[in-house]
Amino acid sequence: MQIFRMVKAQTGFVLLACMVLLALQQPSARREYVPVFAKPSNTSEPRGTLQGDFDWAGRSSSLTEAAARWQEFIRSHYPANGEYEDDFEHSHVVAAQFELMRVYYLRGQAEKGDEILKKINPLGL
């Protein structure tokens, strides 16, 4: 009987450990967001400008918020005709696409991340 209790306790411990490990590996939309490219700028541009919107999206506190803000940034600043005004605009839009792609991967949405990667097509394939 005592052996049965020890096996039962050990089994319970193993199951608990597996659940904790799985929970730690599961992506969480509430996880803190830390941008790769969007570092705070030295200027404080207002929202509605390229730099202001980029800084705003980069200050997201969670992955959920970051996804929404980067989507809005890209929707607002991706040129309708595909022609960028200058390299500044181009680099910020591409950086935003990479940030959004990364957010999707961190949230466990690989399909959405891959979709953006195919649009960016950094290798020109």
Query: Each residue of 47-74: pLDDT tens digit?
Result: 999 999 999 999 999 999 999 999 999 9
State the Cα–Cα distance between residues 74 and 44, nearest whole angstrom. 20
Q: Is 51 part of any domain?
A: yes
Q: Is the pLDDT of residue 45 over 50?
A: yes
Q: What is the mean pLDDT of the chain?
A: 81
Place of tokens 């980067």: 70
Residue type, 122: P
Q: Is the pLDDT of residue 19 over 80?
A: no
Q: Which residue range forms the structural domain that includes residue 114?
A: 29-120
Name which residue leads in pLDDT, 20 or 123.
123
Q: Is 13 part of any domain?
A: no
State the Cα–Cα distance between residues 71 and 75, nearest whole angstrom. 6
pLDDT at 44: 85
pTM: 0.74
Residue pair 104/63 in contact (Cβ under 8 Å)? The answer is no
What is the tally of structural domains in the chain?
1
Residue pair 58/40 in contact (Cβ under 8 Å)? The answer is yes
Q: Is 64 part of any domain?
A: yes
Q: Is 16 part of any domain?
A: no
Confidence category of residue 29, pLDDT binned at 50, 70, 90 = low
pLDDT at 42: 74
DSSP H helices in 26-109:
50-58, 63-77, 87-106
Place of tokens 């030295």: 42
% of the chain at pLDDT higher than 70: 76
